[in-house]
Amino acid sequence: MKGISRAFPHVFNLVHISPYAVIFLPSAQAVSFSSPMVVRMSNFPEWVKVSERPENIFFVASADSPLAREQRIPVERLLQEPMYLTEKGISYRYVLEQMLAAKGYELHPVLEVGNTDVITRFLLENKGISFLPEYVIKDYINDGRLTSIDTELGDIVLWSQLAYHRNKFVTPQMNLFLEMLVKHMKKLRTS
């Protein structure tokens, strides 16, 4: 944001962050950055996709959890654990709900909250499990405090995308913002 403020000091910057699959902003100039989602923008010709990347989504627990040492954990076993999840029906949580419903299961989390930092704190205290994107838990996995849980559900990959509406005017400020986000996303891919 500093780069945009320096280049355009008289422009007000407003960034909306949302867990919803696609952010629809009411303003004439809007850029959308979506959290992991199932449907890729290639299915929506009114959107111009600037960047996208795959996002691994994991069941995750404390490295001290007994589940950390098990392999191919069945759904029945996962559902016995206290589960801390994002809000019902949103993005990767929706995918989890659909996968489990197809197998005849229903989720009953201990806590539903939009802030993944809150969820992560419970996990770090070994209070239960969650279902989160790798980018949320990567540092904790790398330092050995959290671990992804090996389940019978296999690998789950969704997509984060940066897009803008084809019929909206892209201002120089928005263009700079898009360029900066693309560079940031490339850095994240290599780290």
- Based on the fold, state whether residues 101 and 39 are members of the same structural domain: no
* Domain interval for residue 117: 55-157
Would you place residue 163 in the very low, low, confident or very high pLDDT band (cuts 50, 70, 90)? confident
- Based on the fold, state whether residues 93 and 47 are members of the same structural domain: no
Would you place residue 180 in the very low, low, confident or very high pLDDT band (cuts 50, 70, 90)? confident
Mean pLDDT across 118-126:
98
What pLDDT, on the 0 to 100 scale, is given for residue 35? 52
Number of domains in the chain: 2
- Based on the fold, state whether residues 13 and 77 are members of the same structural domain: no
- Based on the fold, state whether residues 153 and 100 are members of the same structural domain: yes
Q: Is 50 exceeded by the pLDDT of residue 110?
A: yes
Q: Is 60 exceeded by the pLDDT of residue 25?
A: no
Single-letter amino acid code for the residue at 185? M
Query: 137: buried, middle or exposed (CB in 10 Å: 19+, 13-18, 0-12)?
Result: buried
Mean residue pLDDT across the chain: 83
- Based on the fold, state whether residues 27 and 81 are members of the same structural domain: no
- Based on the fold, state whether residues 178 and 147 are members of the same structural domain: no
- Based on the fold, state whether residues 65 and 112 are members of the same structural domain: yes
- Based on the fold, state whether residues 62 and 113 are members of the same structural domain: yes
- Based on the fold, state whether residues 146 and 184 are members of the same structural domain: no
Would you place residue 111 in the very low, low, confident or very high pLDDT band (cuts 50, 70, 90)? very high
Report the DSSP beta bridge partners of residue 57: 133, 156
Q: Distances from the Cα of 177 to the Cαs of 16, 31, 37, 183, in angstroms?
A: 13, 9, 22, 10
Q: Which of 11-15, 51-55, 81-85 has the highest mean pLDDT?
A: 81-85
CATH number (domain holding residue 87): 3.40.190.10
User: Higher confidence at residue 108 or residue 40?
Assistant: 108
- Based on the fold, state whether residues 60 and 145 are members of the same structural domain: yes
